[in-house]
Structure 1
């Protein structure tokens, strides 16, 4: 790709943010990773308000369900109900393996649901696999960079 892939990571655990940065940084693709640590900041980012004014829409969102202020479920529901964002793939990457969380995430429009492994190497493998799958195997629609 000639331009970096823009990914929004919504994650409040600093260790998981670091692991994700490391895994995406060691890949073959150029990834521009923006990180927000709570759901309210994610909504500001996606609405391009506050300090995120003028921000381009991401090509993909990696979303933890259990983030503070506004839940990951609410962020997911917002994105999938927004005319300009609904095609942005959302990967749920969370610690919950509860069947209700999995079902609700898919009902709200998640594109995939992955439970975070406890092992460092397994976590990196998952992020690398997501990167490879979503950006080299899958055909994605163009995201409207100017609309919000």
Structure 2
């Protein structure tokens, strides 16, 4: 089975770079990071539409990190579409966002989010959160093969 990428759906260059640095700092991670900058691009990537039509369909992400506040189709809509799609719904989705609004949290869990994390403002806390996330999803949790 090929190494599954981690899909980071994030419009902020700074937040993506911090996420990338945090994964690198957290130790050996064989999974490559792949970034989509908006919700529609992420769905095209996941469903192999448009510019992603030629990608191998068997290499779906092993984990999705999803920001809620995206241009165009927002993260809430993306989450709902992922979790309602038979081929995608088993991919773990971690909402990683600046919002700690109870409405957002409840809505995301209702739509099937596996975890909801408010991005820490402090960079060291952010690195720690990513390290914990990596350890849980890639060293502790058992996920379906497909």
- 1:79-113 CA deviation, whole Å, 9 max, x = no partner? 10000110000000000000000000000000000
RMSD in angstroms over aligned alpha carbons? 1.3
Q: Which TM-score applies when normalising by structure 2? A: 0.92
Tell me, yes or no, if structure 1 residue 112 matches structure 2 residue 115.
yes
Unpaired segments of 5 or more residues in structure 1? 144-148
Aligned equivalents of 2:70 and 2:145: distance in 1? 28
Q: 1:75: how far off? A: 0.6
Q: Which TM-score applies when normalising by structure 1? A: 0.91
Higher deviation after alignment, 26-35 or 95-104 = 26-35
For 1:23, the equivalent position in structure 2 comes to: 22
> How many residue pairs are counted as aligned between the two chains?
142
* 1:103-142 to 2 correspondences below 5 Å: 103-142=106-145
Query: Would you identify which runs of 4 or more consecutive aligned residues in structure 1 move more than 3 Å?
Result: 2-5
Provide the secondary structure at the position in 1 that maps to 2:7. strand
Aligned equivalents of 1:137 and 1:127: distance in 2? 14
* 1:1-148 to 2 correspondences below 5 Å: 4-26=3-25, 27-53=27-53, 54-55=55-56, 56-143=59-146
> Does the CA contact (< 8 Å) of 2:38 and 2:73 recur in 1?
yes
Unpaired segments of 5 or more residues in structure 2? none
